Amino acid sequence: MKNPHYDATRRHHRPDGFQNTYLPFERKGLRELLRWRWQAWRQQLPRPPQQPIAVVAPDLGFIAANAAAGLAMQPAVTWIGHITTLVQFGGWNLLTDPVFSERCSPVQWAGPRRHTPPGLALEALPRIDVVLLSHNHYDHMDEASLRALARQPGGAPQVIAPLGHRTLLRRWGLHDVVELDWWQHHTLAADARHTSAEITLTPAQHWSSRGWNDAMRSLWGSFVVLSPDCHFFFSGDTGYSQDFRDIRRHFAHHQAGGGFDLALLPIGAYEPRWFMRGQHANPDEAVQMFEDLHVQRAVAVHWGTFQLTDESLDEPPRALARALHRHGIAPERFRALAIGETMTVPRRGDHSVPPTR
């Protein structure tokens, strides 16, 4: 099948799809999959969590008041679970990779099941203006959740996605879809209630597929969002690569030495390394991303909800704490929030505002 977006001048394009910038991804075959499962069975992995994943009641009053505040909105992020966050900034309510279903699977009677409920129910969300969709894997692109957002009061959100997602999203009722290639951007226009914001799709070290014969045919990526009151980075799903230093260099002239105010960085689904290294970062690599990007503060995502790999569900935050200690980074700068917890972010240029609620 030909890639309708193919551009021979772009190094990540292929005639039949896409590829990573630095480390080409090769999908593992049945032999590797069986080797992984056999080793996990022999070692009795994953082991049960040592303690429950922290879940708190969401601060619905703050979230609703912030959503109604327009230009006075306090930049804030609420961790809903796994990769899904509500980011509020500049009058905008934005969701990352919305997954509210019980399972991340093509069907709801099989596949990885939630160990923790969503920190915010779909019906408790403020009206969502924008969805950032990083790629088409089932734990990131959930049909039921996106169909529900298409029916939200006030109209469907705009979806900003990598190349190759528009047809499926429109089938699900989402017609305002902006597709981007790496380094292309889309501007959210300012009005009486919103600041302007520039959203750029940036590279990630990953891959795409929703079936057995469509690997790498749609693009994947991370996102940089620049607004007057908050610059933030959303990793999507990624392994570690030089891409993060490239992203920092690309946006350095916008930031006058201040770096990103916020990053949403993945710390889970990383064992065994021989199988996962090319697609999922471990906590030490996530801390290296934090340093490469020049980030003021980060929230850990992609952990604590679905048991996808061999590390225990509650191990990533412990590994993150060890990595932060090794790198000499204060733990309050890179936090593993409780599901449902909201963290406020100082407005750009004002680092006197406490970063937590």
DSSP string across 166-188: HHHHHHTT---EEEE-TT-EEEE
CA dihedral defined by 352, 343, 291, 270, rounded to 10 degrees? 170
Q: What is the mean pLDDT of residues 68-75?
A: 97
Q: What is the mean pLDDT of residues 277-295?
A: 97
pLDDT at 108: 86
Q: Token digits for 271? A: 């064992």
Mean pLDDT of the residues in the chain: 95
- Of 1 and 357, the structure prediction assigns the larger pLDDT to 1
Q: What is the mean pLDDT of residues 239-259?
A: 91
> What pLDDT band is residue 351 in, cutting at 50, 70 and 90?
very low
Helix runs in 195-282, H state only: 243-255, 273-276
Residues 40-59, buried b or exposed e (16+ Cβ, 10 A)? Answer: beeeebbeeeeeebebeebb
Interstrand relation of 177-180 and 185-188 (parallel, antiparallel or unpaired): unpaired
Q: Are the beta carbons of 308 and 275 closer than 8 angstroms?
A: no
How far, rounded to the nearest angstrom, does the alpha carbon of residue 94 sit from its chain's CA centroid?
12
**Angle between helices 243-255 and 283-293 in degrees, nearest 10:** 30
Percent of the chain with pLDDT strictly greater than 70: 97
Nearest to 79 by CA among 282, 336, 287: 336
What's the CA gap between 312 and 92, in Å, rounded?
Answer: 35
Residues 213-241, buried b or exposed e (16+ Cβ, 10 A)? Answer: eebbbbbbbbbbbbbebbbbbbbbbbbbb
**Greatest Cα pair distance in the chain:** 61
Q: What is the mean pLDDT of residues 81-109?
A: 95
> What pLDDT band is residue 32 in, cutting at 50, 70 and 90?
very high
Which helix (H) or strand (E) covers residue 298, if one does?
A: strand 298-301
pLDDT at 28 over 90: no
CATH of domain 65-344: 3.60.15.10
pLDDT at 350: 65
pLDDT at 355 over 50: no
pLDDT at 337 over 60: yes
List, in sequence order, every residue forming a beta bridge with 185; answer none if it has no partner. Answer: 200
Q: What's the CA angle centered on 84, arms 304 and 138, to 5 degrees?
A: 85
Q: Token digits for 351? A: 């680092």
Q: What is the mean pLDDT of residues 115-129?
A: 97
DSSP string across 117-170: --SS-GGGSPPP-EEE-----TTTS-HHHHHHHHTSTT-PPEEEEETT-HHHHH
What's the CA gap between 79 and 244, in Å, rounded?
Answer: 23
pLDDT at 353: 41
124-182 pLDDT per residue, tens:
999 999 999 999 999 999 999 999 999 999 999 999 999 999 999 999 999 999 999 99
Nearest to 135 by CA among 168, 171, 103: 168
**Angle between helices 315-327 and 283-293 in degrees, nearest 10:** 50
Nearest to 135 by CA among 210, 243, 240: 210
pLDDT at 261 over 90: yes
- Give φ, ψ of 18 to 5 degrees: -140, 165
pLDDT at 257: 65
- Domains of the chain, by residue range, sit at 65-344
Distances from the Cα of 41 to the Cα of 27, 47, 275, 277, angstroms: 22, 11, 15, 20
Q: What is the mean pLDDT of residues 175-199?
A: 97
What's the CA gap between 314 and 3, in Å, rounded?
Answer: 40
What's the CA gap between 248 and 183, in Å, rounded?
Answer: 12
pLDDT at 39: 95
Q: Are the beta carbons of 282 and 273 closer than 8 angstroms?
A: yes
